[in-house]
Structure formats: C-alpha cells, structure tokens
Structure 1
C-alpha cells in the first residue's frame, strides 16, 4: 500500500451546538432528504400527463402521508440495524436502541418501514397502494444520496484498503488508505438510481402502478451489492456465507421482489387506457 493518500477533510459531525442541543449533519441529511423528496413527489402528482390523467392521489394525501413515511423510515431503519447488524450489542445495552443520533440505520429496515407506511396509509385513505409506493420510491434516492454524503462527513462506513489515487485515510479507519465507498454509494444509490427512475417516469412508468417500485428495488439491490465489493464489512459481522456481506444478502430478496413488481406492472393495463 502507498503511504500517500488524500487527506480526509476535517469535518465536524456536529454542525451547530447550543448548550446540550446539537444539530448533526446526519440528522440534516434525513430532514432535507424527506423535505426535498416531498417537494419532488408533489411535482409528480401535479403532472397529469405522467399518469395518463389525474393522479390516483392528491397533493393533500401526500402531505398527510409524510408523517407516516417519516416514522417508517426512522423506526424501520433503526430496528433493522438493531436486528440485522448488531443484535448482541443492543441486547446487552437496550437503552442505546433509542440513541438514533449516534448513528446506526439500516436501509433495508427503513425500506420495510416505508412499505408498512405505504400499505397502512393507503388503506386508511382508500388510495392506490402501488401508486403511493411508486411516488415514495421515485423520491427515495434523494434521501439516499444525502445520507451517504453524511456518512462520508462523519467518517463512517468507510471502504476496504486500496491503492487507488483517490483513497482516503479515515479517522478511526486505521493507517491504511481506503476506498471512499460512501461516495460510491451516493453516486450509485442516489444519483444514478434517481436518474434511471426519472427517465422511466418520463417514459410513462407511473401509468403502470408498481413499476417504479420494482425498478427501484432492482437497481438499488444491484448498486448496493456492487458497492459492497469496496465497502469494509461491519466489524461485528465480517464476511458471511460465501464471502458475502450483510448488505449483499439483504439485497437478494429485494432484487427478487423487484422483478416480481416489474412483471406484475407490465402485465396490467396502464392507467388511463380504455378497455378493449
């Protein structure tokens, strides 16, 4: 390994601290991810041509839904992390489960939380479960991008040792230069996924309920699995069956479910189509 590496920016994970209260970059990533996703979803709802007519839900419906999906993201993400990534530690220190501000969230757990929020809210409001899921997934990459940037700022979830010229020596990551895998994930799970879904929506994906959900699951699973090739496995887990990581294993059922959603959506008549 070379001695030379890019110096890691001296970020303070706390943006503003006032007495006992602190505003962290990690929290801001969640807040702005939800707010920007909310704005984007409202934009999509108002564009009737994307739906082949009026959207199957209103802007007001989505406004009310935001509280539900926020709880789904936070609770699902935290519970998923506790169960999938460090159950022994939290069993020994149960009060730390509630210390969300210290970090430790699972995308796959947050995804399950979002699914529950979508199903419960849609049934309570009497709107399309799949269309609400499509909107949620269309906006999701915004939060994923900001979340991975926050991981980089925090100097956490770093990559494996490497000799590439853009390697960083992360605080707490030892003396070896490492892949900035957080930035790889931000690019793939955030920017690339958003662009693919936006292009699909432009081609009419929202007219086929469930198609955006399926595409999101497939592309995310592939992007996450590829990024895991460069990301250091969690110390308490290491490599699992066949040299795979937990992120890879959890992406397998997500990928399979995504294929199922795509097949189902393409076999159904699109919204706004006239019966034969």
Structure 2
C-alpha cells in the first residue's frame, strides 16, 4: 500500500457525527443547525448594518427580509440541486425532493431563490432592490461558513486525493461496503475559509472602511465576483459527484465551475458600473441624507 492510501487523518477518529441530538423519535442534524445558525447570525449582523447612515431599509423590512431570504435559500437551493445536479434521479424519484434532511442543496440555486425573494419584497415595500442586495451580500458569508462546516461534519463533498499533511480519509462506499478512502483535500474547510471568513472580511472592509454602500451594486458585485473566483478555484481540487463525473470529463470543468462563470462576469459588471449608479441616498431610517 502506497503513502497516498495509508497516510492522512482518520475522519472516523475525529468524533464527529451528522446528528447533533438524537431523541430516538427525532434527530436534529448539524446540517439543519448550520442553516439556522446562518440565518440568525446573519439577521443579527444585518441589523448592525442597517443602523448605519443611508440604510436602504428599516428594521421592519429586515424582519420581513429574513423570511423571504430563508424561503428563497431553502426552495431555491433545493430546486437548484434538483435541476443542476441530479435532474434524472429526481424525475424518477420525485418524493426524494422533499427529503431536505438528507442534504443536497445548490448554492447557485439558493442565490437565485434569495434574489427573487429580495426583488419581490423590495417591489412590495417600494425599496431599492439593488441596494438591499448589497446589504444582504455582506451577510451571506456567515451562512456559507456554517454550511461548509456542516459539510465537513457530514463527511461529504470532499476533495481529490492528495499527499498534503492535513489530508483527511473519509468513509466511502465501495461495492456496497463502507471503507476508509484515500487521503483527500478537506475542501469543505478550504471553502469555509475562503467563502466564509475571507469573503466576509472583504465585504466588511468595503462596507465599514469605504463608501461602497453608497454605490448601488458594488457590494453584491464584489460578493458575486469573489465567491465565483474562490469556488471556481477550489473545484479544481474538489471531487465531482459520481453522477457528474462524466460531465466534468467531457466539458473539462465541474458543474460548479460552469455555474460560477456567470457569477464572475456579473460581479465584474456590477462593480465596474457601480460608480455610475451613485446618487444622493435618502435613508429609510434616520434624519440625514448621505451624498
């Protein structure tokens, strides 16, 4: 047995389990807690953001936004996974679509669902939808961070085989038997660091240290660009899903990379044109206008 298959950290010895609480008749999974933590922490941070001068919405709007954004993430994320990643399987097994506790969410689908929710709420409340997107974009990395940690705890979405010292050997199913696989990149943790911590820091610096929030589209553009860039890069060392392996081999890129291309291009466009959209901003709350 070579060093690639025998080295690495044994995932089963880390003491991790997908189930956070087992009451026998009910299981609470870390995957579900990750979504809840992302929503509640994101809401707390959003309230801090809208306290600043020139906010595009009031507290009551933020309360409504949590509902629409959460609904968009869940419905969009699940439908995106069904349509982008496993349309054939779910066409034959439609009831499996509702088993959210088994995992299977598409971030790109979640982005679309959340955006539709924001646009609807903004239209309903007569708010500037692009500026609302800017504020929401600053919050999203929190949920990305908790979600990627949950992916690691679940032992899913791991990376390609490697010999790096921090490689992890995840349980894998081979010929119907669960075995310890070869050392792999813990790509879930890479994404937690890049899409969660680093992306949050970039957007926080733009929001708190510059006047980016007064240029509609700049913050959401930065989010789309950097997320797309980070995800595109990590996909090179992330193992494609088995049912998409032939797709990756045929096209030269993973499905996730193809879905990141419009995000990168759209983000570049929004950032490049943001300065032209700058205007005198009348805050939804507060007394002073911000030029």
State the TM bucket, normalised to the shorter chain. Answer: over 0.9
Other-structure match for 1:7 = 10
Q: Would you say 1:263 and 2:268 are equivalent positions?
A: no
Aligned with residue 193 of structure 2, among 187, 193, 216: 187
- RMSD over equivalenced CA pairs, Å: 1.7
Secondary structure of the residue that 2:194 maps to in structure 1? helix
Q: Tell me the TM-score normalized by structure 2.
A: 0.89
Other-structure match for 2:242 = 235
Other-structure match for 1:66 = 66
Other-structure match for 1:165 = 165
C-alpha distance in structure 2 between counterparts of 1:213 and 1:265, whole Å: 10
Which 4+ residue blocks in structure 1 deviate beyond 3 angstroms?
A: 270-276
Other-structure match for 1:142 = 142
CA contact (8 A) 1:185 1:227 kept: yes
**Structure 1 stretch displaced more, 180-189 or 19-28:** 19-28
Q: Report the structure, 1 or 2, having the larger strand content.
A: 2
C-alpha distance in structure 2 between counterparts of 1:12 and 1:60, whole Å: 38
* Structure 2 counterparts to residues 10-25 of structure 1, below 5 A: 10-25=15-30
Aligned residue pairs: how many?
A: 271
C-alpha distance in structure 2 between counterparts of 1:98 and 1:275, whole Å: 46
Other-structure match for 1:118 = 118
The CA deviation string for residues 71-129 of structure 1, in whole angstroms up to 9 with x for no partner, is: 00000000000001111111111100000010000000000001101100000011110
Secondary structure of the residue that 1:35 maps to in structure 2? helix
Q: Tell me the TM-score normalized by structure 1.
A: 0.94
Secondary structure of the residue that 1:20 maps to in structure 2? coil
CA contact (8 A) 1:240 1:246 kept: no
Structure 2, gaps ≥5 residues long: 174-179, 283-288
C-alpha distance in structure 2 between counterparts of 1:119 and 1:72, whole Å: 11
C-alpha distance in structure 1 between counterparts of 2:191 and 2:256, whole Å: 12
Secondary structure of the residue that 2:168 maps to in structure 1? coil
